[in-house]
């Protein structure tokens, strides 16, 4: 692995300025040669990315290229896996997120997450939203909590559908509704960043459309990073786009994910610098 450094690292992957791109708002995350290991296995390496405030950043790439693994670094969700280990630097507002002094619980309060499969708690719709704010001490009960629940459900574009049955079980909702509930649950603790791990992969096109509209709406207040297998989705919703791919190590017969190119979505889909990106976005590969 150390002997064959890929050519891609030689030139700067991070496109700070792009003629066609949006103006550069504040940087929320900055990674420097970020790599993630599962035990001795290097899952993904050499990730250099800046995530900008109030933008939607999409991670695209074939299966197994480490998109989700990288995403789960951003709120230290990988901590839940015993053997996962992170190398390199991951700065959040200039703070090393993996510093010993950093409390992962506090990180996850500021950086919410929506998962691939809707995972509402087996509680009522109300309790699903109220769960986070209660633990965070934002509101314990009564009208203050009611307000947070309503506001979160409205942000998640779910309020009108559920306002008359807030005490019904969340498990009775449809898949698309459950996923919007999970988005509302993430927004209820007032995070700064929302990580979305293929949030639409289990949903039909109509539900997907609603969630994409929702993302467009909430990005004014939040910074969003989304992992998606759906290139049209990345092209539709994202401002910037990172393309990952896998590289086979013939000696150990393992695959390591790596970042190929990161730029504004316009550039990535119209005129990418790397041939592999072009092959992927035009459907010739992956």
- Nearest distance, CB of residue 191 and another protein, angstroms: 8
Closer CB to another protein, residue 116 or residue 254? 116
With contact defined as beta carbons under 8 Å apart, do 34 and 280 qualify?
Answer: no
Closest to another protein by CB, 57 or 75: 75
Query: Rounded to the nearest whole angstrom, what is the least distance from the CB of residue 45 to another protein in the complex?
Result: 25
Return the number of the residue (1 or 95) whose C-beta is nearest another protein: 95
Query: For residues 38 and 115, which CB has a smaller minimum distance to another protein in the complex?
Result: 115
d(CA 26, CA 17): 13
Distance separating alpha carbons of residues 274 and 216, to the nearest angstrom: 28
Among candidate residues 212, 49, 191, 230, the one with its CA nearest the CA of residue 110: 191
Beta carbon of residue 248, minimum distance to another protein (angstroms, whole number): 29
Rounded Cα–Cα distance for residues 262 and 61 (Å):
12
| Nearest approach, Cβ of residue 132 and another protein (Å) | 3
How far apart CA 109 and CA 23 sit, in angstroms, is: 28
Give φ, ψ of 274 to 5 degrees: -100, 140
- Of 73, 14, 15, nearest to 43 by C-alpha is 73
Q: What is the DSSP letter of 23?
A: P
* Minimum distance from residue 82 beta carbon to another protein (Å): 5
Task: Output the six-digit token pair for 31.
Answer: 């990674």
Give the separation between CA 107 and CA 100, rounded to whole angstroms. Answer: 13
Alpha-helical runs (H) found in the chain = 67-71, 104-110, 125-136, 142-155, 159-162, 175-188, 205-218, 231-237, 265-270, 275-281
Least distance CB 170 / another protein (angstroms): 11
Cβ closest to another protein, residue 180 vs residue 185? 185
Give the nearest distance from C-beta 37 to another protein in angstroms. Answer: 16
Chain contacts with another protein (rule: CB under 8 A): 75, 77, 80, 82, 105-106, 108-110, 112-115, 117, 119-122, 131-132, 135-136, 182, 185-186, 188-189
Residue (37 or 115) nearer to another protein, CB: 115
Minimum CB distance to another protein smaller for 221 or for 284 = 221
């Amino acid at each position: 692995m150390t002997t064959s450094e890929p050519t891609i690292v030689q030139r700067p992957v991070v496109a700070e300025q792009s003629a066609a791109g949006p103006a550069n708002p504040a940087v929320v995350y900055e990674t420097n040669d970020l790599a993630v290991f599962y035990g001795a296995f290097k899952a993904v390496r050499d990730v250099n990315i800046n995530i900008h405030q109030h933008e939607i950043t999409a991670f695209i790439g074939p299966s197994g290229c480490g998109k989700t693994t990288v995403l789960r670094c951003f709120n230290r969700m990988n901590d839940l896996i015993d053997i996962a280990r992170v190398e390199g630097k991951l700065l959040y507002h200039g703070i090393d997120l993996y510093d010993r002094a950093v409390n992962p619980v506090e990180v996850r309060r500021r950086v919410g997450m929506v998962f691939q499969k809707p995972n509402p708690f087996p509680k009522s719709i109300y309790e699903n939203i109220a769960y986070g704010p209660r633990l965070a001490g934002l509101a314990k009960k009564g009208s203050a909590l009611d307000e947070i629940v309503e506001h979160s459900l409205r942000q998640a574009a779910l309020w009108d559908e559920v306002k008359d049955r807030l005490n019904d079980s969340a498990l009775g909702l449809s898949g698309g509704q459950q996923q919007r509930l999970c988005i509302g649950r993430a927004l209820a603790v007032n995070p700064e960043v929302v990580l979305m791990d293929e949030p639409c992969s289990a949903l039909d096109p109509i539900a997907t459309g609603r969630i994409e509209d929702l993302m467009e709406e909430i990005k004014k207040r939040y910074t969003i990073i989304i992992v998606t297998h759906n290139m049209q989705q990345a092209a539709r919703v994202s401002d910037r786009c990172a393309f990952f791919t896998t590289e086979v190590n013939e000696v150990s017969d393992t695959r390591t994910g790596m970042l190929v190119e990161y730029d504004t979505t316009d550039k990535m889909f119209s005129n990418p610098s790397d041939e592999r990106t072009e092959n992927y976005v035009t459907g010739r590969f992956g």
